[in-house]
Amino acid sequence: MTKSVLITGAGSGFGRDVALGLARLGHKVIASCQIWPQVSDLRAEAARLGLDMKVIKLDVLSEIDRNHALAFDFDVLFNNAGIMESGPVAELPPEIVRRIFDTNVFAALELAQGAARRFIARGAGRIVWTSSVAGLVKVPWDGAYSASKFAVEGFCLAMREELAPYGVEVCTVNPGAFRTGFNDTGMEAQDQWWGQGERVMDHWPVRELTKQADPAEMVEAMIRVITQENPRYRTVLPKAAEDMARREQAEEWERKL
Q: pLDDT of 7-23, one tens digit each?
A: 999 999 999 999 999 99
Contacts of 1 (CB under 8 A, 6+ apart): 227
Catalytic residue list contains 166: no
Distance CA 145, CA 134 (A): 8
Does residue 12 contact residue 181 with C-beta atoms inside 8 Å? yes
Distance CA 190, CA 109 (A): 26
**How high is the pLDDT of residue 1?**
83
Counting every residue, how long is the chain?
257
Distance CA 106, CA 228 (A): 28
pTM to 2 decimal places: 0.95
For residue 93, what are the CA distances in angstroms to 85, 134, 194, 223, 251?
A: 10, 20, 10, 36, 30
Q: Which domains does the chain have, with CATH numbers?
A: 4-254 (3.40.50.720)
Please give the mean pLDDT across all residues of the chain. Answer: 96
**What's the chain's Rg over C-alpha atoms?**
18
DSSP-derived 3-state class of residue 225: helix
Closest to 213 (Cα-Cα) out of 240, 232, 194? 240
**How high is the pLDDT of residue 204?**
80
Query: Which of 145, 155, 178, 182 is an active site residue?
Result: 145
**How high is the pLDDT of residue 197?**
87
Contacts of 114 (CB under 8 A, 6+ apart): 66, 70
**How high is the pLDDT of residue 208?**
74
φ and ψ at residue 213, rounded to 5 degrees: -90, 165
φ and ψ at residue 54, rounded to 5 degrees: -85, 125
Name residue 97's amino acid. Answer: V
Low-confidence residues of the chain, pLDDT below 70? none
Q: pLDDT of 199-220, one tens digit each?
A: 999 888 777 788 899 999 999 9
Contacts of 192 (CB under 8 A, 6+ apart): none
CB burial string 40-76: b at 16+ within 10 A, e below: ebbbeebeeeebebbbbbbbbeeeebbeebbeeebbb
DSSP at 180: S
Q: pLDDT of 139-149, one tens digit each?
A: 999 999 999 99
